[in-house]
Each structure stands twice: as structure tokens, then as C-alpha cells.
Structure 1
């Protein structure tokens, strides 16, 4: 039944009867809610926690995905709003990785009472370079990425996973990311990747009026430092911290760093 957002997005609620505040953890492209397992466990004793899979990923209902419906990040933001409504969420702490950073920002703009604080990990408002803006990619590079995904998706995964994860001394991390990437239907992965990499939400940043923490690693193939600095300049009431970690997935490769940053912030 697609009308139930808790089923559609494979929502997991931990400590539903907790008197503590709600923390929502949202994953990025190529992963699912399990990417937050180590970080979320650290908050299990004193918070209600909500984790979910974006449509097209993890164990979200496969039939819910349509490239026509999910042709922008706004559709994913609508899903997040519906999940919050189903769980009667108000004034939650929202933690979004990568694309879920912008998804949660859009959800906060649509319904301001959902979140009181935002934590955005490796987020980007635009991945494509522009005049006076460094996003990290030019259009020919992105076209090459789409072609590689289309020509041999699993070969692309085997190259992209270690590059995005970094931490070559811990190859098991890249292998884990490759597994979740490979579990996505290739046509869905290509559609979602295009929506993400061609998105531009720079004009939405000033609309966010929440206490916000921006977490960025020292080197990230998907999100250069200039992007995090751009977010910090354009999101009011935001603080940027560079965590002692490498790659695009510090909540997986350096969970203790992310746990400490979240604790200090909330």
C-alpha cells in the first residue's frame, strides 16, 4: 500500500515511547538507513530515533519509484514531510547526509515546525560548476559519469565506491558501499543520479531559518571544501566544522567524530 509513508519508505522507529527528543537520520545516494547504524546507536538511550530509506534505495517499496514523480528533490522532501506527519514529529533534530541535506532543507522550508535543528553532512546545493561558483563537476564530467553508469553499471560501481569512500587502508568500507550501490536497480540509480547532480538549490539556502551545523571532511570527491564554505555563507545561523576524516561518508568511516559533533551541537 503506497499511501502509507511508513511502509513506502521502510521507516524504522527506535524508542518510540522515549521522552527524549526525536532525531531523524536520512541517508545519501547509494546507501540506505543502515549507513547510520553506528552513529544512531550512540543516541539510542535518550532519544526517539527515526530512520528511513529514500524511494529507490534500500528496502523502500520499489513500485513507489517513478522517474516522472521523482524528477526533483522536492518529491523526496514531500516524502520526509509525510513521514513526519505520520509520526507526529515536531521540533526534531534532522541529520541529513549528502543529497538528504538538501532534501531536509527543502522539507524544513515547506513545514518549518518539523525541525528545530539541522545537521547537514557532506551536503551540496549544486554539484555543477557555475560562474563564480565551484561545485566540483563540469557538465562533460557528469555526462561521462552517466554514460559509464549506462554502459556497465557494476563496473562503474567498482570504481566509484572506493573513490567516494576514500580510506584505502580500510577496503571493507568501499566494499560495503559497493554492495548497497549494486543493490539499486541500475535504471533507478541512473535516474536518481541525474536528478541529484543536475539539481540547483542555491536560491533556497537563505529560506532556511534553523540553527544548522555543517559537517565537511578534509577531502571529498563529491563535495569540495568550497561548497561547504558556500553553504556556511548562505545559510543563516549556521556553523561549519571540518571533521578529522576523509571521503564522502564520515558517518561510516569516522563515526566517533560525527557522534561527537552531533553531541556537542545538540
Structure 2
């Protein structure tokens, strides 16, 4: 299997450690364009498209394999084994943060750190846990997506992006959603929004930076606080930002927070 073709994988830069960037639902690796070049002079940077997204090889998509996030986690571990040079830090946006957790759990010690941007282990409120959505809200969202994917994309992308002063970013996310195969997107949405990874994050000891927007429709601050409480080596950084994609709307803030967190894995920094 050619992973480079399967996942449209690209390697940039060089350095003593590897950063692997993994995108969120409805996106592809181009969404990292506002951020990743900051790191290519001091890290080996690996970017890829989840199978079914972007310019990945759609013939590799299997509804059975990707019926849970575990299929994506297996892909990620294959990429780590083939293309990463130690130490390895995963940078995951949204659902990819949980894909990174599953990859970590499946191969303990292989991943040295996580940077989670807008992560959520569970989107649905239950008992004392607040995920930001009621079960009926998620089901309504998925029903709308099933019946009118393009309409859903056009209305939801601007709300997800936020960044009211940067309308071009909303257009970029809308176009990304609309480029995604609707049938694949519908299944991935169900896998994403119905997943519950609270048991997987609980007690995860890998050093983790949680980057959370101060206002986020998809992953409210309380979710970041939950993750920070249950992962013993985590730190939570709130970013003054409206929206679920701070790596696009406030990349300088994201980059500065990452610089501080990543300093133990950099032996030489050239400004």
C-alpha cells in the first residue's frame, strides 16, 4: 500500500522532531496553510488527508473500516511508523485530536506529545458531562445533513468557522465541505458527532496542549476544561477567538502557544 498516495501525504522541512498535522471533519490538509510554515525550519512536518477527504485516494475508502474512528487511528499509526522521526508530536484539529488519542492508546510510547485544537471527546451532554449538544440536537443536525448535504454545508460552515471579520475563511471552509463526497461526509459526520472517547482520554499521560477558542459553537470552553481535568499532563490555553478553526482565523496566537509548548522538542531555533 502506498500511504503517500492513499493519504495525499506531504513532508516539509527538517528538524530533530516530527510534527504530524491531522485535519478535522469536512476539511483537508490545506487548512493548515496559515500555520504550518512557522514550523518547517525547526521540525520535520508531515501533513496528510484523512481517507475520504481532500485529495486522498477515494478508492481506499471502506464504510466498514471507517465506521469508527479506529480506522483513521490505524492509518495514522501507519503514517507515524513510515514517515515520522522521533520524537513525534501530533497536531490534531477537532475530531483528529481524538483520532490521535486512539492512535496513542493503540501504540503506547510511540507518540511523545499532542497539540489538540478545538478537541471534544463527546459532543452530547450526559449526566454531569457537558458536551455542548443535546442528543436531539445532534440527531437533527445529522438528519439535515442526510437530506440536503450541500445546503447544510453552506449554512453550517460559516457558523463553524466563526471569524466574523474574515468572511473569506467561511468561504474557504464552505468550499472544502462542498468538495467532499456527500456519502462519505454523511458517514464521517455520524462517526464524529456520535463518538464518545471519554474513556480514552481519561488518564492519558502523554503531554498535551489543548487550544480552545473563547467562543466555539462545536467545542465550548467547558469541554476543554473537562479534558484538562482528566488528562494529568495537559495544559489548557484559551485563545481569544470566535469559531472552531483558530489555526485559520488566529494562526499567530496558535503558533505562539505551540512554540512555548514545543520548546522541549526543539534543539535549535532560528528566527
Specify the TM-score bucket, using the shorter chain as the normaliser: over 0.9
The answer to whether structure 1 residue 9 and structure 2 residue 7 are counterparts is yes
Report the Cα distance in structure 2 between the residues aligned to 1:89 and 1:80, rounded to whole angstroms.
14
Deviations 1:42-89 (A, max 9, x none): 111121100000111111111111221101111111000001111254
Report the Cα distance in structure 2 between the residues aligned to 1:264 and 1:240, rounded to whole angstroms.
13
Aligned position for 2:121: 125
Q: CA RMSD in A?
A: 1.2
Q: State which of 140, 146, 153 in structure 2 corresponds to 1:150.
A: 146
Q: State which of 175, 179, 185 in structure 2 corresponds to 1:179.
A: 175
The answer to whether structure 1 residue 236 and structure 2 residue 202 are counterparts is no
Deviations 1:3-31 (A, max 9, x none): 2222211111012xx34311111111111
| TM-score normalised by L of structure 1 | 0.95
The answer to whether structure 1 residue 211 and structure 2 residue 213 are counterparts is no
Aligned position for 2:266: none
Aligned position for 1:33: 29
Aligned position for 2:241: 245
Contact 1:134 1:227 in 2 (8 A): yes
Q: State which of 211, 214, 222 in structure 1 corresponds to 2:218.
A: 222
Contact 1:93 1:115 in 2 (8 A): yes
Report the Cα distance in structure 2 between the residues aligned to 1:168 and 1:251, rounded to whole angstroms.
15
Moved more, 251-260 or 18-27: 18-27
Contact 2:15 2:41 in 1 (8 A): no
Q: CA deviation at 1:112?
A: 2.4
Contact 2:112 2:207 in 1 (8 A): yes
The answer to whether structure 1 residue 113 and structure 2 residue 80 are counterparts is no
Contact 1:90 1:113 in 2 (8 A): no
Q: CA deviation at 1:250?
A: 0.1
Q: CA deviation at 1:93?
A: 1.6
Contact 1:8 1:55 in 2 (8 A): yes
Aligned position for 1:201: 197
Q: Aligned ranges for residues 59-74 of structure 1 at < 5 Å?
A: 59-74=55-70
Unaligned runs of 5+ in 1: none
